Amino acid sequence: MQEKKIKFTDVLFVGLAFFASYFGAGNLIFPPMLGLQSGSNWLSGMIGMLASGVGLPILAIIVLGMCGSVQKISDHVNKKFYTVMIGAIMILCCCVSIPRTAAVGIEMGLQGIWPGAPYLVFVILYFVIAFLFAKDRGTALDKVGKILTPIMTIILFILVVKGAVSPIGTPGTASVDNAFVNSFLGGYSTGDVLVSFLAAGVFFDSIKRKGYEGEAFRKAHVRACLIAAVCLAIVYGGQAVFLFIVYGGLLYMGACVSTEYTPDSISNANLLLAIIRSSGGQIAIYGLCLSVVLACLTTAISQITAVADFYETATHGKLSYKVLVMIVPIVTTIVASFGLDTIVSLTSPWFSFFYPITLVMTILGIFEKKIPNDGAFKGAVYFTVIYAVLDLPHEYGFGFLDPVLNHIPLYGLGFGWIVPAIVGFIVGLIAWKGKGRTET
């Protein structure tokens, strides 16, 4: 059968839509605060954010595409591990990520223009709109990529270039010891690597629905990933001859007010509003609020689609996509009603729980064909899971296990999962020697 010729517009809109599924609430509210913390070390902070915000998510989705799916990697660990892990991440989405998009979109977007806007009413309206976009699985990503993402990207680009070219202040002393590590770990809160895992199936399915199979699928997938990477690089980007673009620009703008605010004196959302208001006045606030709503809405649509698609497969069709795509917005509406601060404070530690696990699986996926037996996969992942469980109390402020965890190399830098993963890999490799591996 003749390989289908790849159309640029096909991969362009899929790439833009996938970029939009990454760029949402967290990508707007966290960079300015990381810049504020980085102060005069903003460039190191920017590089750290670029590494965790662009490099890791795009690496993950490319690796998953090359392997074929998340499940083909997780099957080496355990046949049920995929359902358990991705199912847990999907629940996290329903309890954190998707409701957070509504809270940010309304509190920072709509109420930034109209302070008296009734919160709960607009939460309901927000998810009604998200449902209308997501209800047709076959065209959900196309609608996002063709309509919402370009508008959002243009507005954000204009706002940040204006703010970065005409800075409103001078970066002051950093409030953290290591701006790179602080920003790298801060990138976990955006949840972008988790997005790669939870939205991979929808992303791949969208390409396949356009008629790409085999080698044509792999080529289209890589090109769409590159488009998403370019967009993310623009959003997370850096500084080159005063060309600051959105994400790097937001971080730099936060650094420029580090002599005016301290991290403890202002919230993430209010910091961003204050920066934009000082930079461009009320007109800029209108532009920011519109782009915030669009950024949050595109992420919500993509993730609602992913959650509904996953649980339809996990229940073997007992719950259909059409039913699930109605249930998810109802659940997320209830959670979003508690407000942004409550959602972030109660649930953010779970990003730190899942990130090491997904990063280890991404690394294993890179070398999937070269690893001689399944024991290496099992050991690396299970040891990382154990570490993540032990570290979770610390993330919630309970340090009773810190005396033990502090003996783990790199723990103090936030990378304590690396040594357990390596030890688990070696132990599993030896213990499983001669038992072979699951062929994928």
CA–CA gap between residue 60 and residue 427 (Å, rounded): 25
Question: Could you tell me the pLDDT band of residue 241, with boundaries at 50, 70 and 90?
Answer: very low
pLDDT higher than threshold 50 for residue 238: no
pLDDT higher than threshold 80 for residue 143: no
pLDDT higher than threshold 90 for residue 254: no
Residue-wise pLDDT for 227-237, tens only, equals 666 655 554 33
CA–CA gap between residue 224 and residue 64 (Å, rounded): 13
Least confident of 25-34, 323-332, 385-394: 25-34
Question: Could you tell me the pLDDT band of residue 172, with boundaries at 50, 70 and 90?
Answer: confident
Please state, for a pLDDT cut of 70, what percent of the chain lies above it.
Answer: 73
CA–CA gap between residue 40 and residue 43 (Å, rounded): 8
CA–CA gap between residue 279 and residue 163 (Å, rounded): 6
Please state, for a pLDDT cut of 90, what percent of the chain lies above it.
Answer: 12
Question: Per-residue pLDDT averaged across 276-283, rounded?
Answer: 72
CA–CA gap between residue 90 and residue 195 (Å, rounded): 10
- Dihedral (CA of 370, 373, 378, 384) sign: negative
Residue type, 285: I
Least confident of 151-165, 175-189, 326-340, 357-371: 151-165
CA–CA gap between residue 159 and residue 277 (Å, rounded): 11
Q: How far is CA 122 from CA 50, 105, 125, 284, 293, in A?
A: 33, 10, 5, 22, 11
pLDDT higher than threshold 70 for residue 363: yes
> 308 with 324: CB under 8 angstroms?
yes
